[in-house]
Amino acid sequence: MIEAVEIALYLATVVTAGYAALELIPTDNPRPTAETAALSILLGCGILPYAMFLAAIAGVKPCRGEIIAFETIAIATIIAARHRRNRRRKESPETPPSREDDKKSPLTGNPGKHENLALAVCVLAMAAGGLVVYLHALAMPVFDIDAYALWGLKAKAIFHEGINSPGFFHDTSLSYSHLNYPLLVPFLASGIFAAIGHMDDSSWRAVFPLIYVGGALFTYASLRWKLAPLPAALLTAAFVTAPSSIRWAGAGTADFTLTLMHAASIFYLVKYIAEKARGDFILAIIFTALAAFTKNEGIPLAALNVAVLAIFLLPLPFAKRKFAVVALFAAAVATIVAPYLIWRSGVPNTHQENYTGRLLQILHKENLERLSEILKLFAMEIFNPRRWGLLWCALPLAAAFNIHAFKKKHVLAMWTILAGHLTLYILVFIISPWPPSFLANMALDRIILHTAPALIYLLALHYAETPLGNR
């Protein structure tokens, strides 16, 4: 019972840290409750382990004192931010602008009985999904080898000896594999050990149900940018209760966490391209960097985000200010990720894939001959109803029935993100030293999960541009 309270207090610290960070990010309009709650969770699940990582570089191992210190700093930040905001309101009182998404919503006002019933079904479905993730994370043993011997093992090493000692992270004889993988999830999980004061294989995955709740809230809140409550809830339920989402949300790996960090990064990036709001720009930077701190895949995805911003911001009329915005985005992301990359450069590389070096071999005949098999494997995974139902099947139909949506810059930007993301993974399959079928069995369902947010957003954007979506 005492350990449960200690874990709950640690998770509260995670959310408080996220809310404190959110208080520092400017916004033109008050954020809806769902978005505020979602960002508090997701920012907390990224910023707190990043702060723990910086402290670990300085030699501070995760402990209760550190958690208390971060909680104190977060509470002080919230108080100071609110005091400053209240003082500004007194100096220049303004009438808060009405929410733009309420004006666009086809279901403003009081929903009817059918809409309320459908919304209730969606909420129940998401609650059932959350229960499964909770039971998976806390009532079942760790079944995934990577969760146990990669992510969980790193969390134990961080709690036991930190990251600067000559032990786990620098002794290849102690390695299972991939000593230099990103550390967001291990640091987040090590906070559980710090809270209860010892290592416990049955409790370190307690962070994952919280991440799942944050993901469900964020998916709904972000879809409300263009959709009414009912279609937003339907798409959210379809995404967070899909078999691939449920499987990996509580498994103890970093895949679902990467999916959500990437989802937030591309949502705010595309929203910035459409509306040029400073707060969206800052959030896009933060989540792009946090994705890179979550899994290796996040590093090329950060480059993809920079490229998409440049493609859709720099075209004529060219202006120095536009170039400065792209440069600032890239520099800010690089600055946040730099401490991890510097630390990583001193960690032995124990895996032999060397994808960067093998890029030069992409045009070799034996590699290109793999392409048809790879595309077939991707198609079988994407259109497998046991993984995603009919969501991927709906995308080409949505595009065909509403081709006018392609006139919108933000729609084209999201399509570019999805196409670029899939292309990156196809390139990895082409140059990988492993046979495509082996690699597909090992990782394909997880990497398609990473691309799912762009799919969900595209379905929403195309629907929003139809007469029904604008009714």
Q: What is the pLDDT of residue 176?
A: 72
Q: Which tokens is 180 given?
A: 């230099």
| H-type alpha helices, 314-440 | 320-344, 355-358, 365-368, 371-382, 385-388, 391-401, 409-431, 436-439
Q: What is the pLDDT of residue 107?
A: 37
The domain of 266 spans 2-80+121-350
Tally the domains of the chain: 1
Q: What is the pLDDT of residue 353?
A: 60
Q: What is the pLDDT of residue 393?
A: 93
Q: Which tokens is 442 given?
A: 């090992």
Is the residue at 419 inside a domain? Answer: no
The single residue listed with the structure tokens 């030069």 is: 360
Q: Give the span between the Cα atoms of 258 and 244, in whole angstroms.
A: 14
In tens, the pLDDT along 166-211 reads 888 988 887 776 888 999 999 999 999 999 999 988 899 999 999 9
Q: What is the pLDDT of residue 471?
A: 47
Is the residue at 387 inside a domain? Answer: no
Is the residue at 243 inside a domain? Answer: yes
Is the residue at 45 inside a domain? Answer: yes
Q: Which residues, given as ranges, of the chain have pLDDT below 50?
A: 97-109, 471
Q: Structure pTM?
A: 0.92
Q: What is the pLDDT of residue 106?
A: 39
**Residue 300 preceded by cis peptide, ω within 30:** no
Is the residue at 7 inside a domain? Answer: yes
Is the residue at 410 inside a domain? Answer: no
Q: Which tokens is 348 given?
A: 């032995």
In tens, the pLDDT along 60-115 reads 999 999 999 999 999 999 999 998 888 877 776 655 544 444 444 433 345 556 66
Is the residue at 139 inside a domain? Answer: yes
Q: What is the pLDDT of residue 364?
A: 66
Is the residue at 418 inside a domain? Answer: no
Cα end-to-end span (Å), the chain: 52
Q: What is the pLDDT of residue 359?
A: 60
The single residue listed with the structure tokens 């959210």 is: 236
Q: What is the pLDDT of residue 115?
A: 67
